[in-house]
Amino acid sequence: MKKKALLFLFSITFLLVRAQEQPAAYAVSDEYTLWNFQKGDTAYVFADVAYVRENADTKSKLVDSLQEGAMVVINSEGYNGSTIRGFYAPWHKINFIKNNVKKEGFIWLGLLALNSIRNQEGEQFIYGFKKFRSSTENSPSYYDAEIKVFDREKNVIARASYQAEVNDQTGTETKILGGMGLKNIKNIHRSAFLGEACGIATQYYYFAWTGQELIHFPSKMSVSDAGVFYYDETILFPSEHKGDPTMIYKKIVEGENIDDNLDEPNYKETKSQKKYTWDGKTLSELIEMR
């Protein structure tokens, strides 16, 4: 009987030790993220350096580190969300190749680029979040965001920071435009944060690419609340307005329902515009005296 009791205690101890060695149970993150990666998707490291861990936790054993621009493949749904750098994101299991060796581990989603696109020359543009800044009495909340450009050899050749006013948007998309009729501009990179519900703005951020430098161009937004109001901005480049090749226009239309009937609103519309000039090197806003 004594031997059986000792054997039982030994078995319990062994199982407890084994349990501690096993990864903690992964809690599936069911919160929507702007990244919206699915299993099998390709993603790119946005952070200067990203740590890959054995399990979905910042305290887990370090598997490896990846440099900005490194390619990974998403190999799981999101698990165990963490708040790092001021914002929440889940973890994903990934596969990657480093030094010709295939490896796997977990990465916190906030370290990956939101999106990636290449121009005709093969230069790669990615953008992502560095940190979340909470609102204050003087300013709304925003993300410290950055766009990076890589050459064909995966070297960073340009970067530019900006404030992304992202709040409750449900997706993001990216597009590469041509020079749009502007002198010394190879491409214009446009990133969008999409608001698909009433009162949630869609934000567009434009960066002109000269081949050596990223230049922050005017942004635009649109937002509406059915039967109450709408606000829409449109950017017109020279190839679109067909006028002065140095001019960029931002057209603004605001509509406010002046009737109590939300089903058949009667909008009072106001139009305005902003003007910008590009001399081939510098962007300036023209202020009209009234």
Residues 237 and 262 both lie in one domain: yes
Average pLDDT over residues 32-54: 94
Q: pLDDT category, 3, cuts 50, 70, 90?
A: very low
pTM: 0.87
23 lies in some domain: no
For the ranges 2-16, 39-53, 83-97, 192-206, the lowest mean pLDDT is seen at 2-16
Residues 106 and 152 in one domain: no
> Residue type at 231?
Y
Between the CA of residue 117 and those of 43, 176, 186, 208, 249, what are the distances in Å?
11, 7, 15, 14, 26
Residues 267 and 130 in one domain: yes
What is the share, in percent, of the chain residues with pLDDT greater than 90? 77
> What pLDDT was estimated at residue 95?
97
Q: What confidence score (pLDDT) does residue 26 get? A: 61
The residue from 111, 144, 162 where one domain ends is 111
CATH number at residue 37: 2.30.30.40
Classify residue 137: in a domain, yes or no: yes
Both 190 and 274 in one domain: the answer is yes
Q: Are residues 70 and 166 in the same domain?
A: no
Tell me which DSSP letter residue 277 carries: E
Any domain includes 243: yes
Spatial distance between the Cα atoms of 49 and 94, rounded to a whole number of angstroms: 16
Classified as helix, coil or strand, 231 is strand
Q: Is the confidence at residue 256, as pLDDT, over 70? A: yes
Q: What is the mean pLDDT of residues 175-180?
A: 98
Residue 59 above 80 pLDDT? yes
**214 and 95 together in one domain:** no
Structure tokens at 153: 């050899």
Range of the domain at 202: 115-286
Q: Which of 91, 111, 131 represents a domain boundary (last residue)?
A: 111
Q: Of 126, 128, 107, 99, which Cα lies nearest the Cα of 54?
A: 107
Q: How many domains does the chain have?
A: 2
Report the pLDDT averaged over residues 248-276: 92
pLDDT, residue 32, reads 64
- pLDDT of 9 reads 39
Is 119 a member of any domain?
yes
Q: How confident is the model at residue 28 (pLDDT cuts 50, 70, 90)?
A: confident
- Indicate whether 123 and 93 sit together in one domain: no
Residue 108 contacts residue 55 (beta carbons within 8 Å)? no
pLDDT band for 30, please (50, 70, 90 cuts).
low
Residue 1 lies in a domain: no
Residues 187, 145, single domain; the answer is yes
Range with lowest mean pLDDT among 15-24, 66-75, 105-114, 217-226: 15-24
Domain boundary among 58, 81, 111: 111
pLDDT score recorded for residue 60: 94
pLDDT of amino acid 265: 86
One domain for residues 237 and 270 = yes
At 110, list the tokens.
């906030």
Determine the pLDDT at residue 35.
Answer: 92
Q: Give whole-number Cα distances, 90 to 33, 42, 75, 139, in Å.
A: 8, 17, 13, 28
Q: If pLDDT is split at 50, 70 and 90, which confidence band does 281 have?
A: very high
How buried is residue 106: exposed, middle or buried, by Cβ count under 10 Å (0-12/13-18/19+)? Answer: buried
Mean of pLDDT values over 98-102:
95
pLDDT of residue 29 exceeding 80: no
Residues 158, 270, single domain; the answer is yes
Q: What is the mean pLDDT of the chain?
A: 89
Taking residues 175-202, report their average pLDDT: 95
Residues 243 and 258 in one domain: yes
Q: Is residue 49 part of a domain?
A: yes
12 within some domain: no
Quote the CA–CA distance of 1 and 72 in Å, as a whole number.
56
Q: How confident is the model at residue 227 (pLDDT cuts 50, 70, 90)?
A: confident
- Does residue 276 share a domain with residue 132? yes
